[in-house]
Amino acid sequence: MPSSAAEPLALIACLLLAGCAASEAAAPPPSPFVATAQGRIDARGETRWLAAEVDARIAAVPVAEGDAVAAGAVLMQLACADRTAHAKGLAASADAAAAEARLVAAGARAESRTEARARLAAAEAALADARDAHDRAAQLLAGGWVTSRQMQHHQAAVDAANGERAAAAAALAALDNGARPDERAAAEARAQAAAAMAAESAALADRCTLRAPVAGRVLRILRREGEFSGAGSGHPIIAIADTSALMVRAEVLDRDAATIRPGQRATIWLDEGAGRWQGRVLDGALLVGRRTSRSLDPADRFDRDVREVRVLIEGAPPAIIGLRVNVGFARS
């Protein structure tokens, strides 16, 4: 073939080959993901939404959203001065009743023993006087100066004084040896009743304080200081969750659900590219619902059926709870 005829053919072949090479060079690399989705970051542990039990003004909110708190920490304090004062009064009464029961069980107070000893001394002195009077009357009886009836009165006085002396001695012995069993039982019953009333009142007062049921992080505060707690509505006013582990609740299209399996690796990232984390699928497609976030593919319908897939995040900071993120599920 003449060179003049071969040159156009060679040029065409070269252009075709160059075009093919250019097409191959421009082809995008295959995606590392079998499926992508969007979702929201949440705590893996249960989120506790707390409502007030008492309808009162909120006196203090000593925490802020994002704060880490220990179990039992005060989250909100309601203004319940009347309940608090009543509880303190009953607590003081319970303490007094308990102290009285201890004294009764151990014996009388020191002043009671002093009074008992004084009574016994007075009874012994009265008995001595009655006996002296009886002896003098007995001497006079022989001379006829005292009648037998008068002697009977003197003997009755001796008997009465002797009885008083015996009673005083028994009372002192009882105080020294402790109260009678029935007295101890009565004092103990009073103490128990007072303690029960104080505990009930303290429990009512404690309802004015909202405490963290678990260690975790404050997620939402829905009522502020000065507002009313709205206990009658039953609506939560603060939320707390254990944020030691975070996950993504990803909305996977129903068509992609078959490609997701527990343990599968995943990549999580923000639209702005500020954060990127690795994770793994906790469980397969659990729930069927309607999409609440838009797909990465603009051509997808917004209201398409989706399944929720939970993805455990590795090393993500708790501050990102609630953020919308993208999730890519690895091919292998």
User: Could you tell me the two tokens for 90?
Assistant: 């009953």
Residue 36: per-residue pLDDT: 92
Residue 23: per-residue pLDDT: 44
Q: Quick check: 76 and 238 in contact, CB under 8 A?
A: yes
Q: Are 181 and 212 members of one domain?
A: no
Q: Are 186 and 262 members of one domain?
A: no
Kindly report the CATH number assigned to the domain that includes residue 249.
2.40.30.170
* Residues with Cβ within 8 Å of residue 252, at least 6 apart in sequence: 35, 37, 260, 285, 306, 307, 308, 309, 329
Residue 5 lies in a domain: no
Residue 156: per-residue pLDDT: 78
Structural domain that includes position 69? 47-80+208-241
How many domains, in total, are found in the chain? Answer: 3
Q: Are 57 and 164 members of one domain?
A: no
Residue 134 lies in a domain: yes
Residue 240: per-residue pLDDT: 92
Residue 118 lies in a domain: yes
Summary mean pLDDT of the chain:
78
Q: Are 264 and 283 members of one domain?
A: yes
Q: Quick check: 218 and 239 in contact, CB under 8 A?
A: yes
Q: Are 200 and 223 members of one domain?
A: no
Q: Are 107 and 159 members of one domain?
A: yes
Question: Tens digits of per-residue pLDDT, 26-43?
Answer: 555 567 899 999 999 888
Question: Tens digits of per-residue pLDDT, 255-305?
Answer: 888 889 999 999 999 876 667 899 999 986 655 555 555 444 444 444 467
Q: Domain boundary at 241, 261, 286, which?
A: 241
Determine if the pTM surpasses 0.75: no
Residue 159 lies in a domain: yes
Residue 99: per-residue pLDDT: 74
Q: Are 71 and 217 members of one domain?
A: yes
Q: Are 74 and 218 members of one domain?
A: yes
Residue 292: per-residue pLDDT: 52
Residues of the chain short of pLDDT 50, as ranges, are: 1, 11-12, 15-25, 294-303
Q: Are 91 and 188 members of one domain?
A: yes
Residue 75: per-residue pLDDT: 94
Residue 6 lies in a domain: no
Q: Are 256 and 111 members of one domain?
A: no
Q: Are 291 and 224 members of one domain?
A: no
